[in-house]
Structure 1
Amino acid sequence: MLHPSGIDRARQALERGDRLPGGTLPAAIAESWQRCRDLGLDPRSVPNGEVIAFAEVIRKREQVAALRRLALAEMKLLHSQIAGSNFIIALGDAEGVVLDTISDQHFADSTAGRSVIPGSIWSEARYGTNALGLAAAGKEAVAVYGREHYFACHGHLSCMAAPILDSNGRILGLLDASCSNEARQQHTHALVRMAAAQIENGLIFQERTECFILAFHPRAEYLDTLSAGLVAVSRDGEVISLNRPGTSLLAGLPAAAGSHFDQLFEASFGTTISGLLNGGVTAVRDRAGSGVFMVCRQIAPGGRVSPPRRSGVMPAHNGGDRAPDFVCEDRSLKRAVAEIGRAAALRMPIHITGETGTGKELMARHVHTVSGRKGEFVAVNCGAVPEQLFIAEIFGHERGAYTNARSEGSPGLARLADRGTLFLDEVADIPLPAQTALLRFLDSMEVRAVGGQHTHRVDVQIVSATNRDLSEMVAERSFRADLLYRLNAFTLHLPPLEARSDFALIVRHLMRKLAPDAAITDAAITALSLRKWPGNIRELQAALQRALVRGMDFVDEGSFDDCSSPEETESCAACRGHPLDESRCREIRRAYRDASGNISETARRLGLSRTTVYKHLGL
């Protein structure tokens, strides 16, 4: 018979209301459980979290604007480092109110993910034992793993949080990473602590531009790491700010704002600064007799020395090198894309359909990549070639074959694509006379230039694309039926952006391409997902570019004031065509708008679950 583990015995005692067995839990967790008990929280129930009004969230963001700017940059870096771990990264204020989130899409769609939203209050009194609440209470980095959470419904989560402190030890904010993948807990915990330390250091540089900023450490090779002490000193030698490693390295000395450099180190401030500005790294002793190395990272006033490099940060995980240069996690699209390689191996012509801006040329280039062909990818916009020149453009022409022909002749695009891919974009615009010639080419793969006598056999992967309905054109006799059947041997449809289930991933992918160092919040992605996108991905990219022009550091839901709001008469895709469902859906969307985009407030006003609201908003 197996004996229950420590956490099993602790939870059994907790849920029975018995005294907690000693030594089965970390002290901080046991103390938190007891506080939750004292508050009368039932560990078997589901917590009823509170969400503050969005206007209050905006006010709180403004109060910590400098912190938020730095934190969002670190959150984006964390996002890249733990991508694929089914996680959410949250920034909270000192009271545990969530201000911003950046998450993995799978976690965001989960019940837990939908409770970590801007305005949610993750205090111990509301959510029991959790990392945000504990970090706020203890001013220390903390991890709460699995069933260490007070509420049993949180037992599948692992949460790591670290406080962000000012030089006086006051909490400015909280950084949290929560995930359902326990395999990388320790790795994630270390990254969260490092990110919080980097934000604290960044605040010193950002807020003390008038000071000398000095880095020091007992070992010179650690001066560029997060373990180095940072001290901001006025031109008179007064200590203005000191980071946490600096306070620890100077333990036992009056290391605090308001003290003087000369009270901390044996060499005088003037002598030390002269040495630093002339000679780089300087060896000094503190007043306790310990030797440290020191370097100037910022000169006061005006001039700057480069801040320390980001060392010791684990690199982001790099996915497979054959991944396409676009997002295709939408279920129906992903299934079709997985079959492209087999279609190309069988030399099947591939036909791509989709609205303007859905990425048809990107998909065509992916076909070329997975085909493994060594030749060129040759694209032609069939609508941009004059009718009388189309055949000569595709199949080439001999010298002087027609008026205005090139004097040296032309091999034609089909021959240029030999052993590669010929992409016929806007194939619906091919003139009828040319359709006959193209059909003959597809049957034989032989090319004869206009005015020429010889044929050339080529090996070409054919990819075509259009945003029009070729079947309708066949019925109207403006497109040949036999040509359509040759082109659409394998058809791949790109859904419009508003129908894509991987919308959030598309936004993040575009952000990485447009501004790799800029962060985008979950709230911004939600706001974008509620818009209509007639121009699809191309229009979305333009909207992101405009938002980045306003502020290159991060993008939140306030960055898109120029985007039109969802129409009141619009319902989600699942409800369209069902009158009763459409009416209910429009009511939910109007309430969401009236609640300033607050999911919990919308659910409360309508007496619905948040899951129902999310479903009708298409999130």
Structure 2
Amino acid sequence: MRDASVARHVDRIESAIAGSEAAHSALVASWQRSCALHRLDPADARGPQTLTGPELQRARERLDLLIRSAQDSLDRLYQAVGGVGCCVLLADADGVPVDRRGAPADDETFHRWGLWTGTVWSEASEGTNGIGTCLVEQRLLTIHRDQHFHARNSGLSCTTAPIHDHEGRLAAALDVSSCRADLTEGFVNLIAVAVSDAVRRIEAENFRRAFPDARVLLAPSPERGGGGLIAVDRHDLVIGATRAARLAFGLHDDDLRGSLPAADLLAGGPGGREQLADAERGVIQRALARSHGNVSAAAASLGMSRATFYRALKRLRLDAAH
């Protein structure tokens, strides 16, 4: 016989799905996918599936660059939210947490809830939940308590944002989860801001690590807001772009095979050439500062020859003293 609270949860979901709410509510649409597409039962009391040790290791290896890129940001995010009973999870594109931060005092509780590395939180497996639904809808979202599909997860509050790799493809999700009943809406909103900021830092660090020999420039957007990052080789050709830059400039993989001049890409934006020159000027000035004015060392740090570096100095009206 079902517990009364479970029965109420199931009735609420079935009633919403039977109505017309799915056309207007992303949450009900996810509940509908959970029932109709994935054939899940909201009253199912079994916990999440768990990968074997070797399976988890392979999942971590596939995401190795991004995991390494995320370490500092995971630490900073946990420092911001860990003191109020939250844990931080980095999940792969299959919804499997591959890295985690949490207070040792809370480990037993979170492990019992399945908020642990190696568990499977895809929407196909767990129905509507922060990690799985974020990966399906590819947007920042919060699944708060009884918004979860499974009644057994209705004590959780999960705020999750998608992470895209250096090629602009969906690669992972960053999640902050809590099982505290007193988590306020205001604090959930603050968590969402912190998660968004952490995702931007992770994507930027991952992009820089993916193009270690390139200059990474902040690309101006034709619209308001930043256009993301682009990687430029020593010939000033664009060889990489973040998802934000790809969306801002309509870039595809074929555009990034070493034949697109950075100046041509950015000239279409407001003040594009001037902004590109400003970005290049900043890169060169920082290289000179780090090398204490040593031109050879500065050029080497940017993957340029000494002659190319001097040409850039002349073109940007700089000198080694600056």
How does the TM-score come out when normalised to structure 1?
0.40
For 1:285, give the aligned amino acid: A
1:291 maps to which of 264, 271, 287? 271
Q: Which residue of 2 aligns with 1:303?
A: 301
Q: Which residue of 1 aligns with 2:28?
A: 30
Task: Give per-residue Cα distances to partners, 1:437-465, cap 9 Å, x unaligned.
Answer: xxxxxxxxxxxxxxxxxxxxxxxxxxxxx
- In structure 2, how many angstroms separate the alpha carbons of the residues matched to 1:78 and 1:84? 11
Task: Give per-residue Cα distances to partners, 1:267-291, cap 9 Å, x unaligned.
Answer: 8xxxxxxxxxxxxxxxx632xx533
For 2:267, give the aligned amino acid: R
Q: Which residue of 1 aligns with 2:108?
A: 109
Aligned residues of 1:140 and 1:163 also touching (Cα < 8 A): yes
Percent identity between the two aligned chains:
24
Q: Which residue of 1 aligns with 2:220?
A: 217
**2:220 is aligned with 1:240:** no
Question: Aligned in 2, Cα 1:209/1:148: closer, same or farther, shift over 3 Å?
Answer: same
Question: Aligned in 2, Cα 1:74/1:20: closer, same or farther, shift over 3 Å?
Answer: farther
Structure with larger RCO (C-alpha < 8 A, sep 6+): 2
Aligned residues of 1:231 and 1:243 also touching (Cα < 8 A): yes
Deviation of the 1:17 alpha carbon: 8.2
Aligned residues of 2:110 and 2:116 also touching (Cα < 8 A): no
For 2:212, give the aligned amino acid: T
Aligned residues of 2:128 and 2:150 also touching (Cα < 8 A): yes
Deviation of the 1:20 alpha carbon: 3.7
Q: Which residue of 2 aligns with 1:42?
A: 41
What is the DSSP-based 3-state SS (H/G/I as helix, E as strand, rest coil) of the residue aligned with 1:55?
helix
Q: Which residue of 2 aligns with 1:194?
A: 197
Matches within 5 A, 1:323-402: none
Aligned residues of 2:70 and 2:206 also touching (Cα < 8 A): no
CA RMSD of superposed structures (Å): 3.2
| Larger helix fraction of residues | 2
- In structure 2, how many angstroms separate the alpha carbons of the residues matched to 1:203 and 1:95? 19
Aligned residues of 1:233 and 1:261 also touching (Cα < 8 A): no
- In structure 1, how many angstroms separate the alpha carbons of the residues matched to 2:56 and 2:299? 36
Aligned residues of 1:211 and 1:301 also touching (Cα < 8 A): no
Question: Aligned in 2, Cα 1:140/1:17: closer, same or farther, shift over 3 Å?
Answer: closer
- In structure 2, how many angstroms separate the alpha carbons of the residues matched to 1:205 and 1:301? 18
- In structure 1, how many angstroms separate the alpha carbons of the residues matched to 2:15 and 2:25? 20
What is the DSSP-based 3-state SS (H/G/I as helix, E as strand, rest coil) of the residue aligned with 1:82?
helix
Q: Which residue of 2 aligns with 1:131?
A: 130
For 2:301, give the aligned amino acid: G
Aligned residues of 2:214 and 2:302 also touching (Cα < 8 A): no
For 1:193, give the aligned amino acid: S
Question: Aligned in 2, Cα 1:189/1:20: closer, same or farther, shift over 3 Å?
Answer: farther
- In structure 1, how many angstroms separate the alpha carbons of the residues matched to 2:145 and 2:18? 21
For 2:31, give the aligned amino acid: W
Question: Aligned in 2, Cα 1:170/1:80: closer, same or farther, shift over 3 Å?
Answer: same
Aligned residues of 2:168 and 2:246 also touching (Cα < 8 A): no
For 2:108, give the aligned amino acid: D
Task: Give per-residue Cα distances to partners, 1:571-611, cap 9 Å, x unaligned.
Answer: xxxxxxxxxxxxxxxxxxxxxxxxxxxxxxxxxxxxxxxxx
Deviation of the 1:52 alpha carbon: 1.1
Aligned residues of 2:90 and 2:172 also touching (Cα < 8 A): yes
For 1:159, give the aligned amino acid: C
How does the TM-score come out when normalised to structure 2?
0.72
For 2:83, give the aligned amino acid: G
What is the DSSP-based 3-state SS (H/G/I as helix, E as strand, rest coil) of the residue aligned with 1:66?
helix
Question: Aligned in 2, Cα 1:166/1:172: closer, same or farther, shift over 3 Å?
Answer: same
Question: Aligned in 2, Cα 1:111/1:100: closer, same or farther, shift over 3 Å?
Answer: closer
Aligned residues of 1:70 and 1:199 also touching (Cα < 8 A): yes
Aligned residues of 2:159 and 2:177 also touching (Cα < 8 A): yes
Aligned residues of 1:47 and 1:127 also touching (Cα < 8 A): no
Aligned residues of 1:157 and 1:178 also touching (Cα < 8 A): yes
